[in-house]
Amino acid sequence: MAKVIPFKAVKPTRAIVGLVAARPYQSYTVDERESRMDYNPYSFLHIVNPGYKYDQEVTGEERYKLVRNRYLEFKEDGVFVQDKKPSFYVYKIVNRHGQEFNGIIAATSAEDYERDVIKKHEDTIARREETFKTYIQTVGFNAEPVLLTYPDNNVISAIIKQTQKEHAEFEFTMTYRDTHYLWKIDNEATIATIQNEFEQMETIYIADGHHRSASSYLLYKDEKEKNPNHNGNESYNFFMSYLIPESDLVIHEFNRLIKDLNGLTKEEFLIKLDEFYRIENRGILPYNPSKPHHFSMYLDGEFYSLYLRKATYSFDNALDKLDAQLLYKTILKPILGISDLRNDNRIEYVNGQHEMITIKTSVDSGEFTVGFGMCPSNVEQMKQIADEGLKMPPKSTYILPKLRSGITIYEY
């Protein structure tokens, strides 16, 4: 039984929401961040980069306290206003490619995360979990929802469609040409219907935001232990999520770029590949893989296709069938010597929205020696891996939609 509850979101005013909303902090270059803050006093970046005000870099606890101060200033100045009634928020994104995403922003249960009602498919790094837990404990809010997905549901879908017939509270377009819409649901009967539908679901799945959800769970454990009057209804028992149906989720692959051949010559490398793959030279034109367990490779000015020799590889579980895991087990680790996919600086990742020409350009520049392209995984693979309690390698999926910070804020 999945527990979702309405909450009193803190939101920008309609007039400036498009100016406030921002991509995640790390997705900007330093120049991009500074340019946006130079010319936009309402950007959420001013909150998460409080040192900008003093023209200096601020880190650690000092930064977190200043983030809290900037946030309170935005509230005091009327940039942010909190809703008076707990609500669900129907949220729609139409991106520049015409892809449409429809879902509900709600508060989801940390206890469900603990009980595996909210399932995970990706490993997290303990250090990052603790860092973000300390951050949200200090600043007292979370401004970017975790992306969760649930089985398509006719009742919830009908409510979303009916709500979208009304005038949207927000409608704005970002510089990336994504258009965002938000409607508020505060009718108690409708809220109860939505909650009941989620209660019928045995599991829902994290699509994106594993570290944020893990950190929120750590916060819940900390605060629960410290509170002798804990009753399960405190704000720390929940974290903000954007729940969308599985049919709305779009999954792209992450392709791999490698800086060297681990001391091998081109010929030695190809011979080692031959153990697991039937190799065909495809020439100089960009080549894309056409099906699972089939890779494209760009090396020394030419594209190759790699077809798995299935007689030499066994699929023992759902993870073994994942192409990112297959590439790791047959090439990256045994041949190229890359065992730590998170921290080895010899590997970089390119999301599958980019064409294979990006791989070619990166290798031709001399920065990388070889690049690999693969087919994207799908929702069923992601769910099966989570159901078996397994974890995907880092950068196995590039999932849409990508959310913006500062549109709805959950306070602890």
pLDDT at 352 over 90: no
Query: For residue range 44-85, what is the model confidence (pLDDT) as tens digits?
Result: 999 999 988 888 888 888 999 999 999 999 999 999 999 999
Same domain, 151 and 209: yes
Same structural domain for residues 18 and 31? Answer: yes
Question: Looking at the structure, do residues 259 and 247 belong to the same domain, yes or no?
Answer: no
Tell me what pLDDT residue 126 has. Answer: 86
Amino acid at 52: Y
- Per-residue pLDDT, averaged over 258-270, amounts to 97
Looking at the structure, do residues 34 and 149 belong to the same domain, yes or no?
Answer: yes
| Residue 224, amino acid | K
50 and 193 part of one domain = yes
φ/ψ region of 293 (left if φ > 0, alpha if ψ in -120 to 50, else beta) reads left
Threshold 0.85, pTM exceeds: yes
Domain match, 128 and 235 both: yes
The rounded distance, in Å, linking the Cα atoms of 128 and 26 is 14
For 6, 70, 373, the CA distances from 133, given in Å and listed in that order, are 22, 19, 35
Domain count, the chain: 2
* Residue 215 structural domain: 4-251+400-411
Q: Residue 30: which pLDDT band, with cuts at 50, 70 and 90?
A: confident
204-224 pLDDT, tens digit each: 999 999 999 999 999 999 999
CB 2 within 8 A of CB 150: yes
Structure-model confidence comparison of residues 230 and 56, the more confident one: 230
Contacts of 289 (CB under 8 A, 6+ apart): 295, 296, 305, 373, 374, 375
**Does position 176 have pLDDT exceeding 90, yes or no?**
no
Q: Residue 365 belongs to a domain with what CATH number?
A: 3.30.1760
| 262 and 247 housed in the same domain | no
Q: Is residue 231 domain-shared with residue 289, that is, in the same domain?
A: no
**Do residues 279 and 314 both lie within one domain?**
yes
Q: Are residues 242 and 277 in the same domain?
A: no
Within 10 Å of residue 345's Cβ, how many Cβ atoms?
Answer: 7
